[in-house]
Structure 1
Amino acid sequence: MSRLLEITDLSLRYGHAQILDRVSLRVDRGETVGLVGESGSGKSSTVRAALRLLPPTAAVEGEVRIAGRDVLAADARTLRDIRASEAGLIQQDPRGALNPVRRIGDSLTERLVRVHGVGRAEAKQRGLELLAAVGISRPEQRFRQYPHELSGGMLQRVVIAAALTTRPELLFADEATSALDVTTQAEVLAILRDQQRERGLGVLFITHDLHLAAAYCDRVYVMLRGEIVEELHGADLFTGATQPYTRSLLDAVPSIREHEA
């Protein structure tokens, strides 16, 4: 497998506040890797640091490579190319990710036209094909609609389509299904899995849902206070954890137990 994401000893500070401390993880082509931990553990900060989406006050050390390219050492042009071509980001809140006063079609095609120089007709055709691929009916009609006219599940599909428009090799999915009901979540994950198999995508899947991580991810990293404390195969998450923090997370997961009468 070729390495799509390699993070080595990544540290992030804001002033005296240590956000990430020597984080190391990897994602290979075709692999889904989970990053789990309680709120505030540093999961989303890892994504922002990996894409260098940080304010000027941030102090970053370590190394991040996406498809072999050094993100932290990249100049502005190279960084824009990495973000535009190599990596896609699926955000947790689709309504927050889409401009409410722009049509769905504009959100899908803008980066293709402005950054990649794709003609508007070709960009529209690619956008329509992706809307259909992620399970949206009547894509021509949806293309002309505004975000407020679509349900949360449909908007999440739009955000996935938008992340795939430039045919990235790596996807960062930051709590991409946490706001969805269980049925819609399953549908969206199936769509994402189909796209992954078709394109050979590597996915870093950030979630607080341990059952979902165990079922959906090939490997899982567990994060505590900005550090990786354990790495496990997804199938072994509930049975193979050895670190006390991981065990405490698993013990806190609600479960339905059958009681003898």
Structure 2
Amino acid sequence: MLLDIDNLSLTITANGLVNPILDTVSLSVDAGEVVGLVGESGSGKSTTARAVLRLYPHTAAVEGSITVGGTEVLSASRDELHRVRSSEAAMIHQDPRAALNPVRRIGDSLTERLVHVLGVSRSDAAAAGLELLAAVGIRQPEERMRQYPHELSGGMLQRVVIAAALTGQPKLLLADEATSALDVTTQAEVLAILRDLQVQRGLGVLLITHDLHLAAAYCDRVYVMYRGRIVEELRGNDLFHGAQHEYTRRLLSAVPAIGHLPNSESRAS
């Protein structure tokens, strides 16, 4: 199993108060599999993804187990954690503009991990950056490498962020609302690229999303999270018709359907 989270509980202490965030969360992702994690905002989805890389406040108290590629993350040494973060798993963030340094060129963002973390020469790192930009569907990659983030569209920046996540050749991708800021057409293009790369490289993907239709169409399996707990696991194509838990059904019933939007008749007239 590429990713195995077992009975993960996490609390954060702030201002003398203990706040429970995650409660006995268990989920898994295998190589070559896309697994969705859905739920309303504040349910703990992003915290779960960050915990995989041990990215949580120092005031957090954590129990349970997180294994990435056979390495127990929660008890990993500094060197082991460095290896997991640099070459085993990578995160694709929701806002590409926030994920990229606005005063660094695109080429710098793509090559710095290769040069400073993995010890690749600058010439080889530049060649790898060009190859990755081409792989995520960016034309004229040589020109893009010299540009700054503000010179690229949101869709192109999201492709750059995906390319940057792939520089360490990770086996696991943690995609945290990676396409939610994009328009529908660009979202479909980026997801198609991500799927092609996932198939070609045999990646495991944990896709965090609030878009239930996307989860049903794109994911092999889907976990439903509510108030820090996993309440149901379904196959992607069973999400809309096989839900058993009351919360999942309520979540699905809240999804707007075309033709049933409020005041649609009055707007049409």
TM-score normalised over the length of structure 1? 0.97
RMSD: 0.7
For residue 220 of structure 1, report the CA deviation from its aligned partner: 0.1
Distance in 2 between residues matched to 1:98 and 1:37, nearest whole Å: 27
Match of 1:248 in 2: 250
Q: Is the partner of 1:63 in helix, strand or coil?
A: strand
Match of 1:29 in 2: 31
For residue 99 of structure 1, report the CA deviation from its aligned partner: 0.3
CA offsets per residue over residues 110-159 of structure 1, 9 Å max, x none? 01100100000000000000000100010000000000000000000000
Matches within 5 A, 1:1-261: 3-15=1-13, 16-257=18-259
Contact persistence 2:43–2:228 (CA under 8 A): yes
Q: Is the partner of 2:28 in helix, strand or coil?
A: strand
For residue 257 of structure 1, report the CA deviation from its aligned partner: 4.0
CA offsets per residue over residues 197-218 of structure 1, 9 Å max, x none? 1100000000000000000000
Q: Is the partner of 2:2 in helix, strand or coil?
A: strand
In structure 1, the gaps of 5 or more residues are none
Distance in 2 between residues matched to 1:121 and 1:67, nearest whole Å: 30
Distance in 1 between residues matched to 2:134 and 2:238, nearest whole Å: 35
Contact persistence 2:10–2:20 (CA under 8 A): yes
Question: Post-superposition, which runs of at least 4 consecutive aligned residues in structure 1 deviate over 6 A?
Answer: none
Q: State the AA in 2 paired with 1:110.
A: E
Q: Is the partner of 2:102 in helix, strand or coil?
A: coil
Distance in 2 between residues matched to 1:256 and 1:139, nearest whole Å: 39
Q: Is the partner of 1:53 in helix, strand or coil?
A: coil
Distance in 1 between residues matched to 2:44 and 2:77, nearest whole Å: 25
For residue 88 of structure 1, report the CA deviation from its aligned partner: 1.0
Distance in 2 between residues matched to 1:50 and 1:191, nearest whole Å: 24
CA offsets per residue over residues 74-108 of structure 1, 9 Å max, x none? 01111011000000110000000000000000000
Distance in 1 between residues matched to 2:95 and 2:218, nearest whole Å: 20
Q: Is the partner of 1:142 in helix, strand or coil?
A: helix
TM-score normalised over the length of structure 2? 0.94
Q: State the AA in 2 paired with 1:81.
A: R
Match of 2:266 in 1: none
Percent of aligned pairs with the same amino acid: 72
Distance in 2 between residues matched to 1:199 and 1:82, nearest whole Å: 18
CA offsets per residue over residues 223-251 of structure 1, 9 Å max, x none? 00000000000000000000000000000
Distance in 1 between residues matched to 2:95 and 2:258, nearest whole Å: 29
Contact persistence 2:12–2:57 (CA under 8 A): no
In structure 2, the gaps of 5 or more residues are 261-269
Match of 2:263 in 1: none
CA offsets per residue over residues 10-35 of structure 1, 9 Å max, x none? 01101211000000000000000000
The size of the alignment, in residue pairs, is 256
Q: State the AA in 2 paired with 1:211.
A: H
Distance in 2 between residues matched to 1:136 and 1:37, nearest whole Å: 32
Q: State the AA in 2 paired with 1:10.
A: L
